[in-house]
Amino acid sequence: MKDNFIKGFLYKEIYRNEINSYMVGLFKIKDSNIDYDKDMIHITGVLPKLSDKKEYILHGDVVTHNKYGTQFNVNSFEVNIPTKEEELVVFLSSDLFPMGEVTARRIVDKFGSDTINKIIENKDCLQMIPRLGESKINKIYNTLLDYQNTSSVVLELTKMGFDMKDSLSLLNKYNNKILDNVNNDIYSLIDTDDMSFVKIDEIALGMGTREDDDRRIKALIIYIMKGLCFNNGDTYLFLEEISNSLSSYVSISSEKLDYLMLKLSKDKKIVIKDKRYYLKDFYDAELYICERLCFLNDMSVTSDVSIDKYINNSEKDNGIVYDDLQKKAIYSGVNNNITIITGGPGSGKTTIVKAIVNIIMNEKRIKKDDIALLAPTGRASKKLMETTGISASTIHKYLGWDKDTNTFATDEYSPNGHKYVIVDEVSMIDTLLMDALLKGIRRDAKLILVGDYFQLPSVSEGQILKDIIDSDCLPVIRLNQIYRQTEGSYILNLAYDIKNKNISEDLFIKKDDYLFVSSDNDNTCNYIKEIVKKAIKKGYTDKEVQVLAPMYKSVNGIDNLNVMLQNIFNPRSDNKKEVRVRDVTFRECDKVLQLVNDPDNNVFNGDIGYIDDIIVSSDKKIINQININYDGNVVSYTPDKFINFRHGYAISIHKAQGSEFDMVIMPVVNSFKRMLYNKLVYTGVTRAKKSLVIVGDSNAFIYGINNDYVDNRKTTLKDFIINFYNN
């Protein structure tokens, strides 16, 4: 295959994405082997800042863009070091170096066309040149090293199969040692860099690594364990499941597998206990969570504040009557070091949290600044703030999460100092996040965990709330009475019927706030369209109407529903700019859903916003930015971040956790059957505040209510807590 190259200088940088280093520039060609008759060409690719004072050799491909014409797409680059004496004089007298033309000429006269190599081999040779002190010699030497090494290392890495972005990232992290790392054990890069096993493995095999190489198989085992744990929500695995998955990649004996597992254990990558195989992070996290919660539970109560006075005044002033369980929850939250409060919608959880906050502020004289109110999502934290009148935060923001390194600024060595920490929607918190949270609060902080036992567990590994409650070792208050029940409301009754698997004709009978629409797979989408149109006529907007579905693909899936709903709520208009991204059209005023946590911009996974503006270059050839408004917080997205959001007219039930909507529409069809289960249906139903419409097949609905498969996660937090108190 022909190696296409162009040699010359950067004439102008037209566009640069500072996050991923993607650039568009105009390049002046001195020499090339491509079929191109002009001396200027547009270049594109992931590249470092190119100096207009350096001569480069760019390797890549000539492409013809249907809009932008002929371009050179750069795959790799090298800095061209001159060898002709006159060129060397010009080069060394440029402002890259601390010398003028006279000194540069003296150096070239002394060492000739091999000047650069001689300086790099022995920088002390420059001492033979008059008026060159040690600092200038070091500057010349270091500049030449950087000049030479950067391009040569990057070139080598790109030849191996790394793309430019990864090559630059690796060079930045490991400097010139990166080539040794790659050659000695390329799989070690998986541990420390944002590089998948698949990418590294492809390069390694291309370099001649054997499929049964121990280094490869160890990396493969870790890759498989991570995948299995994430997909199933497990924190440990059995050897058989690891072996079965491994067999689809490579064939090895059971003896060798045992040997490599022991090796991984000695390397502290995994933990083997009682025939359970843990990734070390999960084992350590569950153990730490157990020890920390039990430590709090065993601490003596330092104060015993009576709540009777507050209860009496609150009941008199607000017309509230607290039952015995609610009083118990308030008392425990105020006085105990750890309290777990669980209950379904309408059971009074938020009322209790508000009461606890008021008492500790008024009776215990705890300042607002000493109380941390936390939730796993932005919308849940906002709801918590509205309930209590105190500022609330996401857990990630509270801990100062760095998304690039996946680490927290706040940890056991620098914890936050709040005296009370109240955490809502705990069912959504996974094992590693709970581990980080407990490390990020002071040792003697009073901890109140609030959540719904019957809601979906976390998307990622673990089932924290369930394990804590099922251990029956820590103070748990189970709220089982419905209080948030308006006249004529049926939604909450339906939720509790679903939770308790009470199947009756009531599930399909129209109520003031509930409707079941019978449909098959083919006409469900059309039914939803008509329901939405009627809702709009009644005054509902896309902020109040939320479609929830269990899967993305299929005719009734989230992707297709979003296209249909976009055409209803935000149709194409000459007054609205739009852009095509990944075969999806986004336009101004679109409702969108944030998919990742971004604490730097105060926007989090599950937040819903609206596109304010789409910004394109002056020639309308490059989409520079999309601005999205999240309840007054406007976040700007560059093209590399467009993958961080999607349409939000229809979203998954998992993404809806921690949120409530005036009107919820849920398709429940036979094609979804394998995705339907009790906690999913229950969670979806409990997102509705005023109106709920379920569209689909009655048998699929009943199947989902009766299906309990989600409870099969393999975790050990419950066992750890029980063993802590039994030993």
Q: Please answer whether residues 15 and 624 qualify as being in contact, where contact means their C-beta atoms are separated by less than 8 angstroms.
A: yes
Task: Please state, in angstroms and rounded to a whole number, the distance separating the CA atoms of residues 126 and 9.
Answer: 28
CA–chain centroid gap for 565, Å, is 26
Percent pLDDT > 90 in the chain is: 55
pLDDT at 551: 93
pLDDT at 562: 97
The amino acid that residue 311 corresponds to is I
Q: Which residue has the higher pLDDT, 276 or 83?
A: 276
Task: Please state, in angstroms and rounded to a whole number, the distance separating the CA atoms of residues 501 and 449.
Answer: 26
pLDDT at 469: 97
* pLDDT tens digits, 700-709: 999 999 998 7
Lowest model confidence (mean pLDDT) among 186-195, 462-471, 555-564, 655-664: 186-195
pLDDT > 60? residue 193:
no
pLDDT at 48: 77
Question: What DSSP character marks residue 448?
Answer: E
Residues in the chain, overall count: 727
The structure tokens listed for 449 are 């965990």
Provide the whole-model pTM. Answer: 0.80
Lowest model confidence (mean pLDDT) among 68-72, 418-422, 662-666: 68-72
* pLDDT tens digits, 350-360: 889 999 998 99
* pLDDT tens digits, 250-272: 999 999 999 999 999 999 999 99
Please calculate the CA angle 650-653-654 and round it to the nearest 5 degrees.
Answer: 120
Percent pLDDT > 70 in the chain is: 94
Pairing outcome for strands 338-343 and 276-279: unpaired
pLDDT at 191: 67
Mean pLDDT score, 96-103: 86
Maximum mean pLDDT: which of 112-116, 259-263, 406-410:
259-263
pLDDT at 303: 65
Per-residue pLDDT band at 466 (split at 50, 70, 90): very high
Per-residue pLDDT band at 164 (split at 50, 70, 90): low
pLDDT at 459: 87
pLDDT at 487: 52
Q: Which residue has the higher pLDDT, 622 or 515?
A: 515
Which element (helix H / strand E) includes 133? none
Q: Which residue has the higher pLDDT, 645 or 69?
A: 645
DSSP states of 202-265: HHHHHTT--TT-HHHHHHHHHHHHHHHHHHHT-S-B-HHHHHHHHTTT----HHHHHHHHHHHH
Q: What is the mean pLDDT of the chain?
A: 89
* pLDDT tens digits, 432-457: 999 999 999 999 999 999 999 999 88
Mean pLDDT score, 68-75: 84
pLDDT at 588: 94
Determine how many CB atoms are found less than 10 A away from the CB of residue 80.
20
Q: Please answer whether residues 315 and 321 qualify as being in contact, where contact means their C-beta atoms are separated by less than 8 angstroms.
A: yes
Question: Hunting for tokens 């419950």 — which residue is that?
Answer: 718
Question: What DSSP character marks residue 66?
Answer: T
